[in-house]
């Protein structure tokens, strides 16, 4: 038996020594909307800076801001502005906000509904759907089918921005919701699986099964979320993709932010389906 004990000790001590070797790491977490940009950028960044490890985690904008406030991460990803409550919660944290791209939150419907003729809605109609007052697509000129209303978890930045535009309150309740899901991926899956769903999605997640609706404006123009209209601020639910740090970023975090704002970084923003800033 002794040789086994020796072996065990050897393995343990190797592990421990291994544990002492630290590389520079930038810890990033938060919004699943910003995530595709950051995880692609991190892959690219590592090629040029092999000594730095960019560790990326999802969770939602709220999670990113909380973890940043608690000092667990170096950079928070957020798809919305910080709320006053969040600033109050971490009075000693000096939040600095860095925009890296533009995004639109789009009411997204199952392709069956889009093809049946519902290609645009007004913000009031969307509000009625999420309030539960319109329960059938007939109510907005669509086919006679019950609407599957897909909501998002409260901490999601996409929801916050959407609800802000639709109800004027980012934390509004949606009594009409049939499903409450998390990430953009999960939301997209539910809308695809259904043939009568509406959800809220970032523009980068639209495809032939999940179609984005244009918005009927009060001046009776119809605005669809094209890059040009988003860049011009015409689409009503547009937002910036944000990275948040506490204090002025330094070292590897600073390098990473600079990379994102460089031409290469901005190209990644565009490849991920968003609109570049410069």
Partner 1 sequence: MSVSGRIGKGFVVGSTLVSASVIFLIGVFLLLYSWDAVVREGWLLFGGTWNPADGRFGILAMLYGTAAVTAIALVVALPLGLATAVFTAEILPGRYRLAVKSALELLAGIPSIVYGLVAVALVSVWIEDLFALQTGRTVLSAGLILAVMILPTMITLSDDALHHVPRRYREAAEALGLYRFEVVRRAVWPIARTDVAGAALLALGRAMGETMATMLVVGGVDRLPGSPADVLLPGQTITSKLGREMAETAFGSVHFSAMIFMGLVLFVFVLGLTMVALIYFYHPEDRRYV
Partner 2 sequence: MKRISRHWINRCFVFAAWTAAGLCGLLLAGLLAAITWKGMGAMNPEFLLTRARDFGSAGGIFYQLAGSLLLVVAAALLCFPVAVGTALFKSEYLRSKRLKHLSTLLVYGLNGVPSIIFGIFGLIFFVNVLDTGVSWFVGSVILAMMMLPTVVQAAYQAIESIPTMYRESARALGLSKWQIVVKVLLPQGLGGAITGLFLGLARAVGETAPIMFIATAFSGVDVPGSLFEPVTTLPTHLLALAQQATDPQALQNAWGTGLVLMGLVTCFSVLGLVSRTKLRRFSQR
Do strands 95-110 and 75-78 pair parallel, antiparallel, or not at all (unpaired)? unpaired
Q: Contact with partner 1 (CB under 8 A): which of 41, 197, 198, 268?
A: 197
Axis crossing angle, helix 123-131 with helix 157-167, rounded to the nearest 10: 110
Residue range at the interface with partner 1 (CB under 8 A); choices 32-40, 172-180, 218-226, 260-268: 172-180
Subset of 34-93 contacting partner 1 (CB under 8 A): 59-60, 62-63, 66, 69-70, 89
Q: Contact with partner 2 (CB under 8 A): which of 8, 97, 222, 232?
A: 8
d(CA 267, CA 256): 15
d(CA 112, CA 195): 6
Nearest to 240 by CA among 157, 166, 174: 157
Q: Does 180 bind partner 1 (CB under 8 A)?
A: yes
107 within 8 A of 224, measured Cβ to Cβ = no
Q: Does 44 bind partner 2 (CB under 8 A)?
A: no
d(CA 273, CA 264): 15
> Could you say which of partner 1, partner 2, none residue 196 binds, taking C-beta under 5 to 8 angstroms by partner kind?
partner 1
- The partner residues of 253 in beta bridges, in order of sequence, read none
Q: Contact with partner 1 (CB under 8 A): which of 154, 217, 231, 277?
A: 154
Q: Does 47 bind partner 2 (CB under 8 A)?
A: no
Axis crossing angle, helix 61-69 with helix 157-167, rounded to the nearest 10: 120
> Could you say which of partner 2, partner 1, none residue 23 binds, taking C-beta under 5 to 8 angstroms by partner kind?
partner 2
Which residues of the shown chain bind partner 2 in the complex (CB under 8 A)?
1, 4, 8, 11-12, 15-16, 18-23, 25, 28, 35-36, 39, 42-43, 46, 53-58, 70, 72, 182-183, 185-186, 188-189, 192-193, 209
């Amino acid at each position: 038996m002794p040789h086994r004990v020796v072996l065990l000790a050897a393995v343990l001590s190797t592990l421990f020594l291994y544990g002492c070797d630290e590389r520079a790491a930038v810890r990033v977490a938060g919004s699943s909307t910003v995530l595709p940009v950051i995880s692609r950028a991190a892959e690219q960044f590592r090629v040029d800076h092999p000594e730095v490890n960019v560790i990326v985690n999802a969770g939602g904008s709220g999670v990113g801001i909380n973890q940043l406030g608690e000092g667990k991460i170096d950079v928070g990803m957020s798809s919305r502005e910080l709320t006053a409550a969040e600033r109050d919660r971490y009075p000693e944290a000096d939040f600095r906000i860095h925009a890296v791209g533009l995004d639109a939150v789009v009411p997204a419907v199952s392709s069956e509904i889009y093809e049946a003729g519902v290609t645009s809605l007004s913000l009031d109609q969307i509000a009625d759907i999420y309030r539960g007052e319109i329960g059938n697509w007939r109510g907005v000129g669509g086919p006679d089918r019950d609407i599957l209303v897909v909501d998002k978890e409260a901490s999601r930045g996409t929801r916050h921005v959407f609800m802000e535009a639709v109800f004027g309150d980012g934390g509004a309740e949606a009594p009409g919701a049939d499903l409450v899901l998390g990430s953009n991926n999960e939301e997209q899956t539910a809308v695809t699986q259904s043939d009568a769903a509406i959800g809220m999605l970032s523009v980068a997640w639209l495809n032939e099964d999940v179609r984005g609706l244009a918005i009927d404006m009060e001046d009776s123009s119809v605005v669809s979320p094209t890059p040009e209209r988003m860049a011009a601020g015409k689409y009503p639910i547009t937002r910036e993709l944000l990275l948040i740090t506490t204090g002025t970023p330094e070292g590897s975090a600073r390098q990473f932010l600079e990379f994102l704002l460089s031409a290469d970084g901005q190209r990644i923003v565009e490849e991920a389906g968003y609109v570049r800033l410069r």
